[in-house]
Amino acid sequence: MFEITLCAMGRLKEPFYLSAAAEYEKRLSGFCRFRILELPEERLPQDPAPAQIAGALEKEAAALFTRLPAGAWLCVLTSEGKELTSQGLAQTLAKVKLSGKSGAWFFIGSSYGMAPRVKDRADLLLSMGKMTFPHHLARIMALEQLYRAEAIQAGTKYHK
């Protein structure tokens, strides 16, 4: 069974986000092996200097790359990425499953973004649109879209 991992910097704390994440994790497990991986966000001072931000993002990139399997397909969620419809995401995932990759990883960076080398490694840079969303809400939105993509591939009535 294909494995999908949603990897995000930082932890969800609010009960409503935790509840939503658990619900989509449960739903996704009916279609694939699915897991959420939370990595610690590097602590920065109140007004960090650009060099401090860059150093923190490099440490976060290292944390991602030590866990990312060698044969995994990587999708990075970033504002400068490509916008896809739900059907487009479903088609992309279907192609990845047929490509021989060991699994698909979706990565959401910290509040300061991510190191350039993470974007350079990505197989797909994906945007949720031109609006800005809190990282915790973006995680729930990504979970819903992953569930929708799996439901589309399975031909269920969830996506109308």
DSSP for 22-55 reads HHHHHHHTTTSEEEEEEEPPPP--SS--HHHHHH
CATH number assigned to the domain with residue range 3-154, chosen from the 4 options 1.10.3720.10, 3.40.50.2300, 3.40.1280.10, 3.40.50.740: 3.40.1280.10
Global pTM value: 0.94
Share of the chain above pLDDT 70, in %: 99
DSSP 97-121: HHTT-SEEEEEE-BTTB--HHHHHH
The model's confidence at residue 141, banded by pLDDT at 50, 70 and 90, is: very high
| Statement: residue 86 has pLDDT above 80 | yes
Between 82 and 132, the higher pLDDT residue: 82
Residue 71 has pLDDT above 90, yes or no: no
Q: Residue range 14-39: average pLDDT?
A: 96
Tokens representing 135 are 């990282």
Q: Which two tokens stand for residue 113?
A: 């973004």
Q: Is the pLDDT of residue 101 over 90?
A: no
Task: Output the average pLDDT for the chain.
Answer: 95
At 40 the pLDDT is 95
Residues 6+ apart with CB under 8 A from 7: 36, 37, 38, 39, 64, 67, 68, 105, 106, 107, 108
Q: Which of the four pLDDT bands, split at 50, 70 and 90, describes residue 2?
A: confident
- pLDDT of 99 reads 93
pLDDT at 159 over 80: no
Q: Write down the residue that tokens 């990897």 correspond to.
A: 7
Q: Greater confidence, 58 or 101?
A: 58
Q: Is the pLDDT of residue 131 over 80?
A: yes
**Closest by CA position to 80, among listed 115, 126, 131:** 126
Which pLDDT belongs to residue 1? 73
Q: Does residue 135 sit in helix, strand or coil?
A: helix
